[in-house]
Amino acid sequence: MNIDWHRLVIINTPPAFRKRRLLLMLVALTQELKRLHAQILEWDKKACLQAAYTWQTIALEHMIANEMGLPVSIDEGDGKPIDFTVTLDMARATAQSAETTGPVLDESYLRGLLNKYKMAGRSYQIINSAVSLEVAFTNHVCEKKDQTFEVSFIDHVCVKTMQTIEVQFINHVCAKEYVRDTVAIRARLNHEADGRTRAVFTADRAVASDITIYYWCDLETMAGIVTIPAGGATAEHLYDEQYQKVFIYRIEPTQDEQYIYQIINS
């Protein structure tokens, strides 16, 4: 209902008091009443519109567009476990609201609207087309199989800030166990011309880590420790005594990210 407030003031003022200055003052006094009346009309229009919303898909799309100004599409599911999916076209929404300030999406408000108007017991999910996830593999990855993983937020997420997710695989990601090359660690004794004995320890190739070798000479007569440095393939120790046999009983580490190390005693 539209009201001509100026005419209403004149009609309700006695003719004897219809002076220009008094009428202008009365019109000014009615401005707050005019504002409150406009708010009541707006509330009544919105209440009638909300009362007309139903749980139907097309009605929910229309409701979200009216209440939040977001272009959405709703697809029905099979109920295992989702009954319907709400997809937000955030690229389009951002373009439409490029001249406005504040967040484009208030997900809590959106969920509140859906929970209010959807049929009781129906489940749903919200897909935001503006959300992306980047993953970098820092360990061995099988190239023969697509890698699949799922990320979900278990707590409230602020819609005003960009979220960063770090994914780390603690094991090798592969359909089969990643096969690393094996490096053999061997030992031998060289008898010098001066009567001394040189214990020589060799690897098939340059090792990727420092390899500490624990060994005995002549059945525990002499115990020793040597280290093959990372990037190297040999280590040795010179003894003044004569020994006939060397035996490696332990190495550390037995494997690293590149190789598996194996003891070979002849």
Question: Residue type for 9, please?
Answer: V
DSSP strand E in the chain: where?
72-76, 84-88, 124-128, 181-191, 197-203, 211-217, 222-228, 234-239, 246-252, 259-264
Residue 239, C-beta contacts closer than 8 angstroms, at least 6 positions apart = 196, 197, 198, 199, 217, 222
Higher pLDDT, 117 or 254: 254
pLDDT-wise least confident of 65-69, 188-192, 205-209, 235-239? 65-69
Mean pLDDT score, 12-23: 85
Mean pLDDT score, 244-265: 90
Higher pLDDT, 96 or 241: 241
Mean pLDDT score, 5-33: 85
Question: Count of CB atoms within 10 A of residue 112's CB?
Answer: 12
Structure tokens at 44: 């009544």
| pLDDT of 227 above 90 | yes
Task: Please provide the average confidence, as pLDDT, over all residues in the chain.
Answer: 77
Mean pLDDT score, 54-62: 76
Architecture of the domain spanning 181-264? Sandwich (2.60)
**Spatial CA neighbour of 199 closest among 230, 232, 222:** 222
Mean pLDDT score, 94-105: 51
Question: Highest mean pLDDT: which of 15-19, 65-69, 79-83, 142-146?
Answer: 15-19
Global pTM? 0.36
pLDDT value at residue 161? 54
**3-state DSSP helix/strand/coil % of the chain, to nearest 5:** 25, 25, 45
Asked if 191 and 204 touch (Cβ cutoff 8 Å), the reply is: no
214: confidence class by pLDDT, cuts 50, 70, 90: very high
Asked if 210 and 230 touch (Cβ cutoff 8 Å), the reply is: yes
How many whole angstroms separate alpha carbon 3 and alpha carbon 41? 12
In order of 54, 69, 77, 111, 148, the CA distances from 126 in angstroms are 19, 16, 13, 9, 20
Domain range annotation of the chain = 5-51, 53-179, 181-264
251: confidence class by pLDDT, cuts 50, 70, 90: very high
Mean pLDDT score, 2-8: 81
Question: Residue type for 214, please?
Answer: Y
Higher pLDDT, 173 or 250: 250
Mean pLDDT score, 215-242: 88
Higher pLDDT, 174 or 198: 198
| pLDDT of 203 above 90 | yes
